[in-house]
Amino acid sequence: MSRGALIVVEGLDKSGKTTQIKNCLQILRRDGFDVCQLSFPDRTTSIGQLISSFLRGETVLDDRVVHLLFSANRWEKWKEIKERLMAGTTILVDRYAYSGVAYTASKGYDWDWCLGPDKGLIAPDLVIYLSASSKVLETRSGYGQERYENQLFQNRVSETFEKLVTHKWLRISSDRPIEEVTHHMIPPIRNIIDSCQNGALPLGTLWT
Ligand code: FDM
């Protein structure tokens, strides 16, 4: 069945995910593709506002509660994601369940417990991992404004992300000019959109 593709962009804080998604959307739309963007956390919902307040350091919450809220924030978008994909729209997602696992497991919580709440979410057709050294990231504007934006923790998250990366992920270094990164992202995105449009890829679920 013809459908849109679910494409996730992951990476550390300030690795350029948001900028790259914006650039890719612009190019893909110019070329006639039906594409849209989602971001997690989605700070517009009531769950998302609670998460946002926690990230700004205004609310104290148990780490496990936060983990479950991040997952609930994805589940509340599950139906919309499925419907949009089935309607033929490709979705570029700024962070997904991989960030959930990478950040909570980096605090020392049990791996399987971290995976649990997102089990059954729609699996992305492609994950693009923007890698960058934490030294470069901390020089980027806005770094340090939110919880987790410190080099020690980011190094730990980076190590945890490495445990999640599979051969199917596309790793792109973002330690280079913005346009160059975009240039590397577009061809694989077009390929995966083609495969989904041709009905070659059935929808999968996490974590299979
Ligand atoms: N984050 C993000 C998590 O800890 N768990 C999650 O499930 C997700 C999606 O929230 F530090 C963290 C990662 C980051 C912060 O992300 C907010 P953005 O991309 O800066 O909004």
pLDDT-derived band of residue 136, with 50, 70 and 90 as boundaries? confident
Q: What's the pLDDT at 138?
A: 85
Q: What percent of the chain has pLDDT over 90?
A: 91
The answer to whether the CB of 95 is under 6 A from ligand 1 is yes
Instruction: Find the 20 Cα to ligand 1 centroid distance in Å.
Output: 17
Which CATH number do you get for residue 189? 3.40.50.300
Instruction: Find the 199 Cα to ligand 1 centroid distance in Å.
Output: 32
For 50-56, the CB contacts below 8 A with 24+ separation are: 54/147, 55/146, 55/147, 55/148, 56/146, 56/147
Alpha-carbon dihedral 147, 16, 51, 80, rounded to 10 degrees: -170
Instruction: Find the 185 Cα to ligand 1 centroid distance in Å.
Output: 22
Q: Is residue 61 part of a domain?
A: yes
Q: What's the pLDDT at 141?
A: 85
| Cβ contact 122:6 at 8 Å | yes
Model confidence at 63: pLDDT above 90: yes
Instruction: Kindly report whether the global pTM for this prediction surpasses the value 0.95.
Output: yes
- pLDDT tens, position by position, 163-206: 999 999 999 999 999 999 999 999 999 999 999 999 989 999 99
Residue 185, domain extent: 6-205
Q: What's the pLDDT at 208?
A: 84
Task: Examine the predicted complex and report whether its ipTM is higher than 0.95.
Answer: yes
pLDDT-derived band of residue 135, with 50, 70 and 90 as boundaries? confident
The answer to whether the CB of 67 is under 6 A from ligand 1 is no
Cα 73 to Cα 4: distance, rounded to the nearest angstrom: 22
- pLDDT tens, position by position, 2-58: 999 999 999 999 999 999 999 999 999 999 999 999 999 999 999 999 999 999 999
Q: Is residue 191 part of a domain?
A: yes
Cα 117 to Cα 32: distance, rounded to the nearest angstrom: 36
Closest CA to ligand 1's atom 16 = 41
Backbone angles phi, psi at 170, to 5 degrees: -105, 115
Cα 95 to Cα 10: distance, rounded to the nearest angstrom: 5
Q: What's the pLDDT at 177?
A: 95
Q: Is residue 1 part of a domain?
A: no
Model confidence at 134: pLDDT above 80: no
| Cβ contact 77:127 at 8 Å | no
Q: What's the pLDDT at 179?
A: 98
Interior/surface letters 144-154, b for 16+ CB within 10 angstroms, e for the rest? eeeeebeeebb
Q: Which two tokens stand for residue 94?
A: 């700024």
Q: Is residue 47 part of a domain?
A: yes
The dihedral sign for the CA sequence 114, 43, 93, 80? positive
Instruction: Find the 169 Cα to ligand 1 centroid distance in Å.
Output: 19
- pLDDT tens, position by position, 78-96: 999 999 999 999 999 999 9
The answer to whether the CB of 100 is under 6 A from ligand 1 is yes
Q: Identify the CA nearest to 187 among candidates 202, 170, 200.
A: 170
How many separate domains does the chain show? 1
